[in-house]
Structure 1
Amino acid sequence: MKVLIAGGAGFIGSTVASYLIDSGHEPVILDNLVTGRREFCEGRTFYEGDIADPAIIEQIFAEHPDIDAVVHCAALIVVPESVERPVHYYRENVAKTLEFVDHLIAKGVTRLLFSSSASIYEPGADFSVDEDSDVKAVSPYARTKVVVEQMLADIAAATPLRVLSLRYFNPIGADPKMRSGLQVASPSHALGKLIEAYQDDRPFQVTGLDYPTRDGSGIRDYVHVWDLAAAHMRAIEAFDTLLPADSSRYTVINLGTGTGTTVLELVDAFNKVVDRAVPVETTGRRLGDSAGAYTRSSRAAELLGWRAEQPIEEGIQDSLTWFARRGQMLPDLAG
């Protein structure tokens, strides 16, 4: 299959492209390189441009009329930035998606895979969520995902376009062949902070040990990015079975571990991988902190035959390997 990947020069999109290539499919990459990296597109069919630009969409489909499906990974994702710049986030994530989808429909696209977020859910008492959990997005970033999903559902109901949304929490790791990985200078998630603490030989701060979780620390759902890429490919291959042209137009599938990982469990797993343990300092909760959540993924197992296979230690090791090597591929991030 030939698959257009919008945002294919970013962390998720480039890994999905690698998985497709390794599985015998052909990705076509569209990215404006605001956060994506040109280096991740080396040797691949790549178009630099904006998803809302009709000229670049026209060029892509003129040169690749045989595109079978589209994966939409293009979005801004930094929660604090979304709080500071909501207009920018709604323009980039919502308004431009609307323009993009309008162009896709005009080109006869009927299969759209939307890379969404599980951050839109309100967790249950056990901190787990599934596709039927209440939606309660708490940041402008998460709300842009909600708006886009609602918009896509409405569009799918009225046009030939069919849409599958994949919702997930925290991708970790890297392409096992180290073709790409996290490209931001300073990651904000706990594993990134752990790696920084390890590299700087300083303690790692655990903020809050009074949550009603199994060990008192917050809980997150870390999924290896290679597992996520596998789910995207399986969804593309099973698209017509999941969404027959004469039946369902829109559906959602969650991707997660089914158990989650607490912060203390993450530290313990990290210290089993590295050559010297990172000590822990505990502090109180920060303003806005929550216990967290993880997603049950029974629908993914049922519909895609997918389960998260990479253990947390593998995600940690691949993240460490990527951080050690990425300066060679991305010299501006060396050091």
Structure 2
Amino acid sequence: MTKPFKILVTGGAGYIGSHAVLALQQAGWSVAVIDNLTTGFRWAVPDSAAFYEGDIEDSALLEQIIKAENIGAVMHFAGSVVVPESVTDPLKYYNNNSAKSRSLIESVVAGGVQHFIFSSTAATYGIPEESPVSETTPQKPINPYGMSKLMTEHMLHDVSAAHDLNFCALRYFNVAGADPEGRTGQSTAGATHLIKVAVEAALGKRDSVAVFGTDYDTADGTGVRDYIHVSDLANAHVLALDALIAEPNQNHLLNCGYGRGFSVLEVLNAVDRVTNLKVVRKMEGRRAGDPDSLISDNRAIMERFPWQPKHADLDEIVANALAWERKLVEIRGE
């Protein structure tokens, strides 16, 4: 069935955004991408998607894209995502994640776009007193990254009340893995995600993997996190779009995770299993602000959307990440 409009994906040349483009196209949507290629890669965007190199705060460019491409919904992934960097350079995060989102939302409203899906984060919860974490858990960010994302959630809430726009903010837990067909994956140099770091170490790109803290109140003393495969996450965005179109007066604020966690050592053991190697562990002290356990209560998204994760097996997540890391060696000639 012919779709009524096109979807604009901001940051569509980046890690999660490029997977969302593939998921949208798989669902029959036509897609346009805007990315300034600061951390994204032009080759990550399929030729079948219209591509605009530019910044989301460029209101003239946004106006042009919305009109020329018949944009009816926006999926917003563009932004900065490294938590420690947000602490040392907070103004960068409040600019990239808050101020530029405000500019984008203004362009969306001016262009008559009615649906907005936002890439939010579990970092908006800070150090929650409960785990699993539900959508009603108090949001008390402890770093500028989490706060910059929470500010955008608030903006969307207020703008939705004043204008003809509904939105879905998806609060991600720990995103990992890569497209099972090997079309895209986490490609940013110096990435800090554990599974990415671990498969780099397995391939000799790093000497070891740092384990930050071994005295947490967990089964093996290392921090426990809820790892979600990026393709399952991308599919959740497509379902969010369907829900916004079906109920134009309804907004959604939802966790995205599997509702179960793995410790750092359990993840590294999975990497050992998949690679048949032994990744060197380097035990270090805790990082400030790291909770013992951060697991999603995902009942709301499971009840509200027909979301059925297909890639929840930890070894599969690791295997996909490893395959992509090997492919990167070919792409870059490393």
Corresponding residue of 1:305: 306
Overall identity of the aligned pairs, in %: 37
Displacement, 1:308? 3.3
Q: Offset of 1:187 from its aligned partner?
A: 1.9
- Is residue 2:297 matched to residue 1:296? yes
Unmatched 5+ stretches in structure 1: none
The CA distance in 1 between the partners of 2:285 and 2:85, in whole Å, is: 24
- How far the C-alpha of 1:122 sits from its partner, in A, is 4.1
Q: For residues 111-156 of structure 1, give each alpha carbon's deviation from its aligned partner in whole angstroms, at most 9, with x where no partner exists.
A: 0011111111145555321101111111111110011111111111
By how many angstroms is 1:268 displaced? 2.0
* Amino acid corresponding to residue 116 of structure 2 in structure 1: L
110, 113, 129: which one aligns with 2:114: 110
Give 1:305 deviation, angstroms.
Answer: 2.0
Q: What secondary structure, in the 3-state scheme, does the structure 2 residue paired with 1:103 have?
A: helix
Give, in angstroms, the shift of residue 282 of structure 1: 3.5
User: 1:199-239 CA distances to partner (integer Å, 9 max, x unpaired)?
Assistant: 23855443322211232210112111000011011111122
**In the aligned structure 2, how far is the partner of 1:22 from the partner of 1:144?**
31
Partner amino acid for 1:79?
V
Give the structure 2 partner of residue 55 of structure 1: 60
Return the letter of the residue paired with 2:329.
G
User: What does residue range 29-40 of structure 1 map to in structure 2 within 5 Å?
Assistant: 29-40=33-44
Q: Are the aligned partners of 1:123 and 1:129 in contact in 2 as well (CA < 8 Å)? A: no
**Gap change, CA 1:278 and 1:156, over 3 Å in 2:** same
1:274–1:199 Cα change, 3 Å: same
Report the counterpart of residue 330 of structure 2 in structure 1. Answer: 328
Aligned position for 2:166:
162
2:193 is aligned to: 189
1:139 to 127, 136, 143: 143
**2:257 aligned with 1:253:** no
**Which residue of 2 is the match for residue 315 of structure 1?**
317
Please, what TM-score do these two structures have when normalized by structure 2?
0.92
Unaligned runs of at least 5 residues, structure 2: none
Q: Please state if 1:74 is matched with 2:75.
A: no
CA separation in 1, counterparts of 2:306 and 2:102? Answer: 31
What SS does the aligned partner of 1:295 have? coil
Q: 1:224 to 1:281 in 2, by over 3 A?
A: same
Q: 302-311 or 94-103: which moved more?
A: 302-311
Deviations 1:148-202 (A, max 9, x none): 1111111111111111101112211111222211121122122123223322385
Counterpart CA distance in 2 for 1:61 and 1:289 is: 40
The whole-number CA distance in structure 2 between the counterparts of 1:277 and 1:312 is 17
Task: Verify the 8 A CA contact 1:166 1:253 in the aligned structure 2.
Answer: yes
1:177 aligns with 2:181: yes
User: Per-residue CA shift, 1:44-100, capped at 9, x if unaligned?
Assistant: 2101111111221122123122x2311011111111221222112111111111111
Any idea what SS the aligned residue of 1:68 has? Answer: strand
Q: What is the SS of the residue equivalent to 2:267?
A: helix
CA distance in 2, matches of 1:202, 1:88: 30
Question: Aligned Cα RMSD in Å?
Answer: 1.8
Call closer, same or farther: CA 1:287–1:115 in 2, change over 3 Å: closer
Distance across 1 between alignment mates of 2:54 and 2:282: 45
